[in-house]
Structure 1
Amino acid sequence: MVSAPKHGVAVHHDATVETRDGTSLATDVYRPADPETGEPIDEPKPALLVRTPYDKRERQRVEQQGNWYAERGYVVAIQDVRGRYASDGEFYLLKNEAEDGADTVEWLADRPYCDGQVGTMGTSYMAWVQNALATQRPSGLAAMFVNQGAANAWKATLRHHGAFELRWLTWSLTIGGGFAKRALDDRDLERRLANVDTGDLLENEPVTRGQSPLRHLPNYEAYVFDYMGTPGDDEFWSDPSINFEAHYDEMADVPTVYAGSWYDSYAKATCDNFGALADRTESDQFLLMGAWTHGGQSTWTKPYSGEAAFGEAMTRDYLETKLRFFDHYLKGADAWDEPRVQYFRMGSGDGAATAEGRLRHGGEWQSGSDWPLPDTDWTAYYARGDGTLDTERPDVADSSTTYEFDPRDPVPTLGGNCSSYYTFEQRDEPVEDLPLADRPTISLTGRGGYDQRTRPETLGADPPYGPLDERADVVAFRTPRLSEPVEIAGPVRVRIYASTDARDTDFTAKLIDEYPASADFPSGFALNLTDSICRARYRGYRREPDFVDPGEIYAFDLELYPTANVFEAGHRIRLDVSSSNYPRFDVNHNTGGALAGDREYEVARNTIYHEADHPTHVELPVRPA
């Protein structure tokens, strides 16, 4: 039985939480109230905390949560993080969140209207700050619902095997920097930022320190270039606000839901957190993975991701799901009886087009006891010189494929695990009449499942538009048409054996469900499932750079984001290998120069090996028939 909306709501705006270093954080507190008098009730209640960089009061969805949960008997505290909106201090992306969050939990637990229990909730940045504060084990923390949060910023979600996820630059230029305190207080600065065409900026990379549009927000430019350029072996990457993996043994032991989705930018981190902490903790831990794109309440109700449709069965009520969890663990109600692991298995649709033109890929929810699933059959599919993928290891002694990678013409990103790759929509109206808060953004990459073929709106693509695997710098390997379905669920690993004539370069891998031609899709449909990248100097999961010797063969291990999918009979399993995926990741200039701002370019001749001693392959988590 879940809590009913029987209370009124009393709100105290801008209550002050003073952190350990004396910074004041503005916090709106929503309390259950007598529905007739509007006065807060005397009985202490469990509290729910949301910490946000997106304005605790003006963004409707955040404020709605305060009212919604307070009506159901929770105290709700919504706080502007340091340096944003009504809170004091200077904003530095993600830093300070461990200590600030822990101080806020302890402050909230000590209020007379709180019964001493604090639950945390939120999506994206609002999930990131939850894991950060949990590294401090604050007293009063009792439960967490972490929707699409990070684990280790160096390993994935911010950098990835050394490559930088450019969404953090575009975030800082749009919904991040565009709503900075200084920008909102300075009309001229707001006008400058509103007129930045992020797509044009990216097409003329590199973006350099002191010359970017963020130079007008010096603290924002500083953190962007710190993340873009700080080497992996710097202690910067071990901070508890950005690397929870380094602090797993100190994490708070409280019931937690790690929720995410296959096409979310935090898909790998979500599963990594559950996999590591479920074994370290005594409290109940849950993993819930849909096939949504990045987001919370509105995203969970969409039956599609990008150009792939999954059906109404995938949709869930975000607010109600969290309510049942907190009712169970903070109020003792019999409201949560979910399996330890539940995930949406994509596939098994009829492949026809929906009325909106999306591919009807289909799918259904599955459950399990652990992650990765205990009865997984790890199966290697080996690349071959004729472009096929096969479960038999190659026995030829000498087989390879060479291509040229020109960093001035990178492979365009088409959907996938992309979240904040935005630009402000350019308008004809005077900017004075369009404050930043009212300027819509448009996606530069698309999000979710996409047919892997360029089109006029594809950033960086030139006519004639067409399939990515027809590019000379994309090497595709595919199985014969499957005679029976192949179901996978779990992490996906790729090992590329390769050499280069450059001092440094990148290698990328993308797993694709390749549909045959049909009446609705006469050219077939190449549905991206998951991808990854590896920067040569950081191969082998190293943090300290180690440049390659030209011509020498190395193993490049890539951890693709986890996924769950059925490749139907008649389909092909396809692996695309290349050296760029832009702007999902920054482009390696092949020079061995600085991680950020290198103005020199070199064309690299990269060779992929598919032979007995160097068998490039993808390892799939195959489910029992």
Structure 2
Amino acid sequence: MVGVGMMRRLGVTALGLRNGPHKVTVERDLEVPAGDGVTLLADRYAPVPGDADVGDAPTVLVRSPYGRRGPFGLMCGQAFASHGFQAVVQSVRGGFGSGGVFEALDEREDGLATIEWLKRQPWFGGTFAMHGPSYLGYVQWAVAAEAGPELKALSMQVTASTFRDAVNVGGTFALESALIWVDMTARMKNSLSGITTGFTSPRRARRAALSGRPLAELDRIATGGQQRFFQDLLVNGPDTPFWDKRDFSPTVSQVTAPVNMTGGWYDIFLPWQLKDYAALRAAGQDPYLTIGPWFHADQHMMRGSVGEAVDWFRAHLLDDPSGLRPNPVRLYVTGVGEWREFPHWPVPGMREERWHLRPDGDLSPDEPPESEPDRYRYDPEHPTPFLGGPTLLGETHPSTDQRRLERRRDVLTFTSAELPEDMEIIGPVTADLHVRSNREHTDFVVRLCDVTPDGESLNLCEGMRRLVPGTPEADADGVRAVAVELWPAGHRFRAGHRIRVQVASGAYPRVARNPGTGAPIGTATEMLVAEQEIFHAPGRPSTINLPVVPVGAGTTDGADEIREAREAPEPGEPDESGESRRDRHAE
């Protein structure tokens, strides 16, 4: 008969992770007192006595809203303990046996209470680290500046110190991700819930979004009941006190423990993760950063990040840096399928090139001639759809053929001539538009695409901006200069390909449609058509600003020898099933 320990080791292998040499013992349902008397439950994984010096083994602390058993227990408990660490995996307040009521993003007090409890335990070896993706990374930022000198390392994936701007992207509302997340958390009842809801939540969220009902009713349609957190998000914009106690970005510069970050080009939190990276660099820290061709919950990223965390913890808790790569920054360049390494981000040698939107749908570094603006009509009753881009769970590959979207009358496209030679961009992407609308309340969406010789238009990155009266100010003719921050990118445009920029006023249901009235987004029912103009003239240029680097910049020394678990197919390449993800999406 196969023992429980062997079953756990087999489970780790089944998840694509690498077991360490140590046998592991588990202590279940440890009671952790919170400051208000609520009891939180945790499981402790440790190398078996005699197999390692458990008394001196550093601890990896993981705090999760998704349960402490099942896949999370294997990835965050069994895997680390088999490599010689202790691991404490805790269920946060209100879930999986922990007392109290779950208060989303309110994690500072419970996190600090857990750390104080940890330090009092007889098995605590004097140092600890923290690990985890998404919410499990956010809880690290909630306590990292106050955790004390015993905190020696942080390992976080696809997360940020604040979700304020990720929920309110450019002032819009990230509808689909918010609906998916509240559906997932509402349905999590056991350790396997995350797997099942991961398949079904996106469909329920999209079905609710396409119902045509006001936003305040969509959580009930998706989950079967009203969800307090979703309702809070609808009435609390980015500048409200609701976010102040949930925003830990002001404390990032105070964190002294070494930080290892993993992100994805198609992750919903990437721009703000890079702001955290910049804050650490400005404070004199030297964080490690990996960005791959991944979306938020991409299992290729999840599997690879555990192995990198083991190396990171060995370096900073066991004084064994042998597993660390030479350069702190590793980036995957799409379009060529190469990993590159750099000393920092933004990468050395980057220069910004301004490509101008021009008459007749042209895109060029050349300034535009005098010309009339391009026009389109945006109807929120029939909002411009979202076909691919940064996503939470990724039902399809996030880089998909955009031609169906580009045939719509409410989407403008500007396309370059065929490139005579390869061109690479690695870094922040922005756009500057000159626009006019008959609505003071309206949105603009900008998307960068790579057009292949056969005409396929693959989205690389995008950004959006919600306009309100007076922000930005209009000139005497009603024209407003609008800056749009797109997602960063790392991509090679091949010779013979073309660069394309889309301009639209919706990306539904990724972000909520703008009704054009200024009414509260949760209850708005009146929808007004917006007549939009995009200017491209010498006095009113509209541009996409690209971070161009020398082709092949960085080093690939050792970077191509990435474990299979850290790689993901390029768009259009076959996945494990042998099917093209792009083809399956088209079906």
Q: How high is the TM-score relative to the length of structure 2? A: 0.83
| Alpha-carbon distance in structure 2 between the residues aligned to 1:142 and 1:6 | 23
Q: Which residue, 449, 466, 470 being the options, matches 1:535? A: 466
Q: Residue deviations 1:139-198, cap 9 Å, x none?
A: 52210111110244232x2111111112343224532211269xx9xxxxx9xx999943
The answer to whether the 8 A contact 1:509-1:577 is kept is yes
Matched, 1:209 2:216: yes
Aligned partner of 1:497 in structure 2 is 434
Instruction: Specify the code of the residue in structure 2 equivalent to 1:53.
Output: P
| SS of alignment partner, residue 334 of structure 2 | strand
Alpha carbons of structure 1 residues 173 and 255: separation in structure 2 relative to 1, 3 Å: closer
Q: Residue deviations 1:303-339, cap 9 Å, x none?
A: xxxxxxxxxxxxx733222111111111011323321
Matched, 1:29 2:2: no
Aligned partner of 2:289 in structure 1 is 287
Alpha carbons of structure 1 residues 511 and 68: separation in structure 2 relative to 1, 3 Å: same
Q: Residue deviations 1:455-497, cap 9 Å, x none?
A: xxxxxxxxxxxx2111111010111111111100001001111
Q: How far is the alpha carbon of 1:279 from its aligned partner?
A: 2.0
Q: How far is the alpha carbon of 1:209 from its aligned partner?
A: 3.5
Instruction: Specify the code of the residue in structure 2 equivalent to 1:221.
Output: Q
The answer to whether the 8 A contact 2:76-2:89 is kept is no
Tell me the number of residue pairs that the alignment of Structure 1 and Structure 2 aligns. 526
| Alpha-carbon distance in structure 1 between the residues aligned to 2:508 and 2:410 | 13
Q: Which residue, 2, 8, 26 being the options, matches 1:11? A: 26
The answer to whether the 8 A contact 2:177-2:392 is kept is no
Q: How far is the alpha carbon of 1:102 from its aligned partner?
A: 2.5
Output aligned runs, 1:232-381, within 5 Å: 232-239=238-245, 241=246, 243-249=247-253, 251-282=254-285, 284-295=286-297, 298-300=299-301, 317-338=304-325, 339-348=327-336, 363-381=337-355
Instruction: Specify the code of the residue in structure 2 equivalent to 1:413.
Output: F
| Alpha-carbon distance in structure 1 between the residues aligned to 2:218 and 2:304 | 44
Q: CA RMSD in A?
A: 2.8
| Alpha-carbon distance in structure 1 between the residues aligned to 2:515 and 2:451 | 31
| SS of alignment partner, residue 613 of structure 1 | coil
Aligned partner of 2:491 in structure 1 is 565
Alpha carbons of structure 1 residues 605 and 112: separation in structure 2 relative to 1, 3 Å: same
Aligned partner of 1:438 in structure 2 is none
| SS of alignment partner, residue 486 of structure 2 | strand
Q: How far is the alpha carbon of 1:237 from its aligned partner?
A: 2.4
Which 10-residue stretch deviates more, 328-337 or 140-149? 328-337
| Alpha-carbon distance in structure 2 between the residues aligned to 1:206 and 1:335 | 56
Aligned partner of 2:116 in structure 1 is 106
Structure 1 ranges of 4+ moved more than 6 A:
193-196, 214-218, 546-551
Alpha carbons of structure 1 residues 530 and 92: separation in structure 2 relative to 1, 3 Å: same
User: Which residues of structure 2 form unaligned runs of 5+?
Assistant: 1-17, 552-587
Q: How far is the alpha carbon of 1:122 from its aligned partner?
A: 0.8
| Alpha-carbon distance in structure 1 between the residues aligned to 2:218 and 2:161 | 32
| SS of alignment partner, residue 127 of structure 2 | strand
User: Which residues of structure 1 form unaligned runs of 5+?
Assistant: 185-189, 302-315, 349-362, 422-442, 454-466, 518-523, 541-545
Q: Residue deviations 1:217-268, cap 9 Å, x none?
A: 87x62211211231332122222x3x2323334x321111111111112221
The answer to whether the 8 A contact 2:449-2:501 is kept is yes
Q: How far is the alpha carbon of 1:210 from its aligned partner?
A: 6.2
The answer to whether the 8 A contact 1:536-1:548 is kept is no
Q: How far is the alpha carbon of 1:104 from its aligned partner?
A: 1.8
Aligned partner of 1:449 in structure 2 is 399
Aligned partner of 1:79 in structure 2 is 90
Q: Residue deviations 1:485-518, cap 9 Å, x none?
A: 110000100111111101301000000011011x
Aligned partner of 2:185 in structure 1 is 176
| SS of alignment partner, residue 132 of structure 2 | strand
Larger helix fraction of residues: 2
Identity %: 28
Q: Residue deviations 1:576-618, cap 9 Å, x none?
A: 0000001111111111111322111001101111111211111
| Alpha-carbon distance in structure 2 between the residues aligned to 1:371 and 1:535 | 28
| Alpha-carbon distance in structure 1 between the residues aligned to 2:202 and 2:457 | 35
| SS of alignment partner, residue 346 of structure 2 | coil
| Alpha-carbon distance in structure 1 between the residues aligned to 2:288 and 2:85 | 22
The answer to whether the 8 A contact 2:25-2:45 is kept is yes
Aligned partner of 2:168 in structure 1 is 159
Aligned partner of 2:453 in structure 1 is 516
| Alpha-carbon distance in structure 1 between the residues aligned to 2:294 and 2:525 | 37
| SS of alignment partner, residue 500 of structure 2 | strand
Q: Which residue, 49, 57, 60 being the options, matches 1:48? A: 60
| SS of alignment partner, residue 289 of structure 2 | strand
Matched, 1:383 2:349: no
Alpha carbons of structure 1 residues 117 and 130: separation in structure 2 relative to 1, 3 Å: same
